[in-house]
Structure 1
Amino acid sequence: MRPFAEGDSVEELTRLLHRAYSDHASAGRVFLASHQSAQDTATRVGRGECWVALEGNELVGTVTVAAPYQAPDGYPAPRGAGSFWQLAVHPRHRGTGLGQRLLVLAEQRVVALGSTQVAIDTSAEAADLVGWYCRRGYVPIGRWRWDVTNYESVVLLKALSAG
């Protein structure tokens, strides 16, 4: 894993996001990452630190991290919390532990950037994904509706330690 660097392809990253979120789209959940443009990807990457996982030269995973997270007004998360988004694993690499490694990296980066909490959100309808986060110490703290999705999100929070 390494930071997304100048010269890396935003188009390739966008294709990975589309593939990784295609199951959600097939289930009728319109995650932005399932259909965003390369320009949307570049904008979202520009709001934090983007990390990529490679197998050889192939992009197989990613996550973008920020701390503190600049949440919209009314978003139910503590001030100063970090966040991450666009956590994605190529479908061929699911079940390998890559998602867990990207999650740990995101949490480590949030701490390194100075936050002791991380707030994220995902579709409240994606029970398997919500459960995955809850099994890793995330606790639901509220709901949110983005104007770019077709579902209500559950907002999850986890306390982090520097250790």
Structure 2
Amino acid sequence: MHGDWQIRPARPDEAALLPAVEEASGTLFRTIPDLAWIADDGVMPAEAHLAAIAAGTCWVAVEGEAVAGFLSARMAGEDGNGADAGRAVLHVWEMSVAPAHQGRGLGRALLEHAAAYAAAQAMAAVTLTTFRDVAWNAPFYARTGFAILPDVALTPRLRDVLAAEVAHGLPAARRCAMRRPVSLVS
């Protein structure tokens, strides 16, 4: 419990609520003229959240019974090299906090919860893709332990994710992949 909210696994009946949280959160993109269109773009569908819920990789921040934010992720095979070769990672597909709840630490708490889950599952890291220069994207994630991966360090999986985002219309020069290593829980 964190103040008047808590992080817990999402329930199947909550999957239908998560797109509205993402849509509300996305309105912040209207403050960036060349990215304002994102506020009206599609959101992650409830079916995708249901798959993450079934996999145990979707968490909600709730205040009472109200969903204030969520993080939906999926385990992915990692094809990197070095010490993490062959170890899975947890890839964050979407994290959103409703505007009325932003700035209270919910996003950070959701990320910490995901990292703890990844560590408990003996995964190597948590990964995500995001905007390099949007304050609540890469700069925020960097403050929570993520680092931008240089192009030479991108795995084929992350290259594919970024390519799909660019094909959808996101500007390639502003996108990046980030990675946060996790320590194994003993």
**TM-score when scaled to structure 2?**
0.70
SS at match of 2:68: strand
Separation (CA, whole Å) in 1 of partners of 2:74 and 2:37 = 19
**1:126: which partner in 2?**
134
Q: CA deviation at 1:9?
A: 4.6
Asked if structure 1 preserves the Cα contact closer than 8 Å seen for 2:15 and 2:47, the reply is no
* Equivalent position amino acid for 1:148 in 2: H
Query: Which entry has the higher C-alpha Rg, 1 or 2?
Result: 2
**2:168: which partner in 1?**
148
How many percent identity over aligned positions? 19
**1:96: which partner in 2?**
104
Cα deviation per residue 1:90-149 (whole Å; 9 max; x = unaligned)? 111111111111110111112223312122110234245211111222111146331334
Which one has the bigger helix percentage?
A: 2
**2:10: which partner in 1?**
4
Asked if structure 2 preserves the Cα contact closer than 8 Å seen for 1:14 and 1:36, the reply is no
SS at match of 1:29: helix
Higher relative contact order (CA 8 A, sep 6+): 1
Separation (CA, whole Å) in 2 of partners of 1:150 and 1:87 = 17
**Which range moves more in the overlay, 16-25 or 143-152?**
143-152
* Structure 1 unaligned regions, length at least 5: 72-77
Asked if structure 1 preserves the Cα contact closer than 8 Å seen for 2:73 and 2:90, the reply is yes
Separation (CA, whole Å) in 2 of partners of 1:25 and 1:70 = 35
Asked if structure 1 preserves the Cα contact closer than 8 Å seen for 2:22 and 2:96, the reply is yes
Separation (CA, whole Å) in 2 of partners of 1:137 and 1:84 = 14
* Structure 2 unaligned regions, length at least 5: 1-6, 79-84, 152-161
